């Protein structure tokens, strides 16, 4: 029996209409069973909804929120409003190739699909309902104060960069969103995890923030030499949310790798879903080169029990390949490199003009405050300024309108492609949602 994919006259719209439902599987399953997984780091103030949505258009499969303080998030509605927002279509949809070591099939992976039973989309899709007691009512009231955009950008349906498989092995997979928390104790982390759980695909415990204030508060790098506390925190979240719910940790390597070994073994005993390793110690500045051997040591300590992600000094796609080859990680996480070039994982050497156009459209749609809007554009345009005076002039602009006018005067026609979904690898619009 022939299909529409065999029709040479079929339009892209017709082909997109026949796409299968993307697999909605756990982050650890994606990391374990697919090749070349790319990740956006939890950037301070910067990896908020508009930027996460932007990079998801350019082969970034897993995105992180900025680090959120669990104590504040769990006890204050104003913190939930300011620290977290999401939308019904911020996650990307990608054609991924199963890894060579994967023995699972598409059918078996469907059995691992994740349903977030309190998520607005899933309740509607699966016709789910559940009885609520007083505690449930209180939680529902608290969750109402999380900013959730229903189909706020585009038409609400995310699509891959092309309607047909790039090769016979490719499978359609939905991207993942991870909330990263910093906490000095188990209770705050568990409460925060439960509150955010309907809207994300897992949480990550920050064990790597090197800032002095964080260390003094008992969070971030302060946890690196408290393996028993990390073990208790991870286990407590798993006990509350269920063993299959994704809980990961992000660490830095220790100058004494015996401490890294002890930390990892405790985390594995607690049941972490995956591990992210930043290849510097607490006291090393970002100007120091990343220690790929240190990341490799952590990966070997894990011994394949869970997948690992490597982080540090990812500025080009060659850096991505080097990280995979030399450390043995399943995924690669970029931070400052993605700020400078949101299309980095799509193998662009500098930020393409259509990524800037997309960012303007997305930011206008969701509503991004000017200081962050301006900061992101400054990062993206760094390699486009021809003189120092031009850079100084742009950085002195005081409104989003002024920044957009500046770009339009230099030939950026962002309105003509508003709402388009771009193929980051080919650089052309394939889907108009105007």
> Is residue 15 one of the residues assigned to a domain?
no
> Is residue 11 one of the residues assigned to a domain?
no
**Mean pLDDT score, 93-113:** 80
Give 174-204 pLDDT, tens digit per residue: 999 999 999 999 999 999 999 999 999 999 9
> Is residue 167 one of the residues assigned to a domain?
yes
> Is residue 5 one of the residues assigned to a domain?
no
**Which is more confident, 1 or 361?**
361
**Which residues are known catalytic residues?**
209
Residue 206 and residue 334 in one domain: yes
Kindly compute the dihedral angle of the four CA atoms of residues 116, 120, 123, 124, in this order, to the nearest 10 degrees. Answer: -140
**Mean pLDDT score, 120-130:** 54
Which of 329, 346, 363 finishes a domain? Answer: 346
Whether 412 has a pLDDT exceeding 70, the answer reads yes
Of 36-50, 101-115, 385-399, the one with minimum mean pLDDT is 101-115
Residue 100: pLDDT band (50, 70, 90) is confident
Which residues on adjacent β-strands are paired with residue 63? 177
Residue 79 and residue 99 in one domain: yes
Residue 81 and residue 197 in one domain: yes
Quick one: pLDDT at residue 122?
60
Which of 322, 346, 370 finishes a domain? Answer: 346
CA distance 332 to 312: 9
C-alpha torsion sign, points 199, 25, 224, 66: negative
Give 263-286 pLDDT, tens digit per residue: 999 999 999 999 999 999 999 999
Residue 332 and residue 357 in one domain: no
Residue 340 and residue 261 in one domain: yes
Residue 163 and residue 286 in one domain: yes
Residue 389 and residue 242 in one domain: no
Angle between helices 317-327 and 292-302 (to 10 degrees): 50
> Is residue 316 one of the residues assigned to a domain?
yes
**Mean pLDDT score, 93-114:** 80
Residue 427 and residue 293 in one domain: no
> Is residue 198 one of the residues assigned to a domain?
yes
Residue 293 and residue 399 in one domain: no
Residue 433: pLDDT band (50, 70, 90) is very low
Nearest in space to 407 (alpha carbons), one of 432, 385, 430: 385
Whether 152 has a pLDDT exceeding 90, the answer reads no
Of 125-129, 246-250, 255-259, the one with minimum mean pLDDT is 125-129
Residue 226 and residue 193 in one domain: yes
Of 4-8, 182-186, 413-417, the one with minimum mean pLDDT is 4-8
Quick one: pLDDT at residue 112?
74
> Is residue 4 one of the residues assigned to a domain?
no
Domain residues for 368? 353-431
Residue 39 and residue 142 in one domain: yes
Residue 407 in contact with residue 356, Cβ under 8 Å? yes
Which of 287, 320, 346 finishes a domain? Answer: 346
**Upper half-sphere CA count for residue 144 (Cβ side, 13 Å):** 6
Residue 163: pLDDT band (50, 70, 90) is confident
How much is the pTM? 0.90
Domain CATH code at residue 194: 3.20.20.70
Give 335-374 pLDDT, tens digit per residue: 999 999 999 999 999 999 889 999 999 999 899 999 999 9
Nearest in space to 60 (alpha carbons), one of 24, 92, 95, 22: 92
Residue 326 and residue 399 in one domain: no
CA distance 83 to 79: 6
Give 194-238 pLDDT, tens digit per residue: 999 999 999 999 999 999 999 999 999 999 999 999 999 999 999
Query: Domain count of the chain?
Result: 2
What's the mean per-residue pLDDT of the chain?
A: 87
Long-range contact pairs involving 393-401 (C-beta distance under 8 Å, separation at least 24): 398/370, 399/370, 400/363, 400/370, 400/373, 400/374
CB-count burial class (<10 Å; 0-12, 13-18, 19+) for 268: middle
> Is residue 135 one of the residues assigned to a domain?
yes
């Amino acid at each position: 029996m022939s299909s529409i994919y065999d029709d040479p006259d079929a339009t892209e719209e017709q082909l997109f209409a026949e796409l299968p439902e993307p697999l909605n599987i756990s982050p650890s399953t994606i990391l374990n069973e697919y090749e070349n997984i790319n990740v956006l780091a939890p950037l301070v103030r910067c990896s908020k909804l508009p930027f996460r949505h932007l990079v998801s258009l350019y082969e970034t499969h897993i995105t992180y929120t900025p680090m959120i303080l669990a104590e504040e998030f769990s006890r204050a509605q104003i913190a939930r409003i300011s620290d977290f927002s999401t939308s019904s279509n911020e996650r990307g949809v990608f054609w991924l190739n199963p890894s060579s070591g994967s023995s699972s099939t598409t059918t078996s992976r469907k059995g691992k699909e994740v349903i977030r039973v309190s998520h607005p989309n899933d309740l509607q899709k699966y016709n789910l309902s559940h009885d609520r007691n007083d505690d449930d009512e209180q939680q529902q009231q608290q969750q109402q104060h999380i900013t959730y955009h229903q189909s706020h950008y585009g038409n609400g349906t995310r699509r891959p960069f092309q309607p047909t498989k790039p090769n016979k092995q490719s499978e359609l997979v939905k991207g993942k969103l991870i909330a990263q928390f910093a906490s000095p104790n188990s209770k705050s982390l568990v409460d925060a995890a439960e509150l955010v759980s309907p809207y994300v695909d897992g949480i990550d415990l920050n064990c790597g923030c090197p800032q002095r204030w964080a260390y003094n508060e008992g969070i971030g790098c302060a946890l690196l030499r408290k393996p028993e506390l990390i073990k208790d925190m991870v286990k407590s979240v798993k006990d509350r949310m269920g063993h299959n719910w994704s809980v990961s940790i992000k660490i830095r390597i220790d100058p004494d790798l015996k401490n890294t070994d002890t930390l990892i073994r405790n985390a594995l005993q607690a049941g972490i879903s995956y591990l992210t390793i930043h290849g510097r110690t607490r006291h090393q500045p970002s100007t120091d080169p990343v220690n790929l051997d240190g990341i490799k040591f952590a990966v070997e300590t894990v011994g394949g029990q869970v997948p690992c992600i490597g982080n540090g000094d990812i500025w080009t796609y060659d850096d991505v390949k080097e990280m995979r080859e030399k450390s043995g990680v399943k995924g690669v996480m970029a931070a400052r490199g993605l700020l400078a070039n949101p299309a980095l994982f799509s193998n662009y050497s500098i930020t393409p003009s259509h990524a800037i156009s997309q960012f303007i459209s997305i930011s206008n749609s969701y509503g991004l405050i000017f200081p962050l809007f301006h900061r992101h554009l400054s990062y993206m345009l760094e390699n486009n300024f021809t003189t120092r005076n031009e850079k100084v002039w742009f950085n002195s602009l005081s409104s989003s309108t002024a920044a957009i006018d500046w770009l339009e005067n230099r030939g950026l026609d962002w309105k003509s492609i508003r709402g388009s979904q771009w193929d980051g690898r080919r650089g052309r619009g394939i889907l108009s949602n105007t």
